[in-house]
Amino acid sequence: MAGDVILKIDGKSTENMRLSEAIELIQGDPGQKIVLRVRHEDAAEEDLPIVRAEIKVPSVLGDLRKPGNLKEWDFLYDKENKIAYLRLVEFSETSTDEMRAALKELKKEGARGLVLDLRGNPGGLLRSAKEISNLFLDEGKIVSTRGREGDEEVMTADPRETVFGPESGLQLAVLINRYSASASEIVSACLQDHKRAVVVGERSYGKGSVQNVIPMEKGQSALKLTTASYWRPSGRNIDRAPDAKETDEWGVKPDKDFEVPLTLEQRVEFVRWRNERDVVRDSSKHPKKDAVPEKDPKKDKDKEKKPYVDEVLNKAVEHLRRQIKKAGLEVPLHQQGRA
């Protein structure tokens, strides 16, 4: 659990042990057993038998986990208005399948709005960016790459891969910040150019270059060579040149009236809040009888602070609520009563 201190690894004390040595002792082949002696935050000690396994880290997360099953995320953020929240932390090999599965689940639950959070997402696979964009589009250009010789490769949407196309009525908002890069910019730019989503937050990083890694010296070194650049469906550039100015065309900017500028302190506070929110805690597992908690000046001071408010997410959700309400006023013809 969060706050646990590992005291022993298979009976070997971790006192004065280097981190690299501890990692080497803990890791091993899947199926092997190991016992960790840990001390919990309440000072209780316990031996934890663990079976080694391959850890698969998901790339699609929510805001909070399901109360009855902490291994799964509750993607429905606003149940009254049926607004979902999906946080994509990277564009990996499994991202498209994870995203498609989450969207199909939300479709069954009758989702009417969706916030796609790409804040802090550094990018990943170009293929995943194309496929995830395609989940919300059934036609049109997604992204194009232009090489040094002027050759262009265009990636377009395939209607067979769409889950929530424009005709679905799903209202969509994408969150970005200055650390959203590469594949994140491809998705947000694509959905913005097709007017499929409103983009909320800060201007993105501006990494629109295609790079190939060439191994050298029998794998002892490598050469990273920029071979092409990414371009938005509108034909605008994504990549930010080293001497680029704020007034130049690069990256992805939030839509008009949807920019939420943050200070450095606010960015740091957001990361800390988000990380703490993701931690699974079980304070009731090891209660200490008749224990009197010691005074902690730092914790007392933290309690005085106002709860963190995610202004970027709130702005997106409020927009979706308005759009859903607006759409709800227009009753489809097949639902109208006959005179």
Catalytically active residues are: 182, 193, 207
Write out the two tokens for 177: 């910040």
The CA distance from 276 to 274, in Å, is: 5
Please, what is the Cα angle at 147 between 141 and 151, to 5 degrees? 70
What does the alpha-carbon distance between residue 207 and residue 199 come to, in Å, rounded to a whole number?
17
Contacts for 124 with CB less than 8 Å, ≥ 6 apart: 90, 91, 92, 95, 182, 183
- In whole angstroms, how far apart are CA 332 and each of 114, 191, 197, 338? 21, 25, 22, 13
Beta-strand ranges (E) seen in the chain are: 5-9, 12-13, 33-39, 45-51, 60-61, 64-66, 69-74, 76-78, 83-88, 113-117, 141-147, 152-156, 171-176, 198-201, 209-216, 221-231
Other CB atoms within 10 Å distance of the CB of residue 194: 19
Give the number of other Cβ atoms within 10 Å of residue 198's Cβ. 21
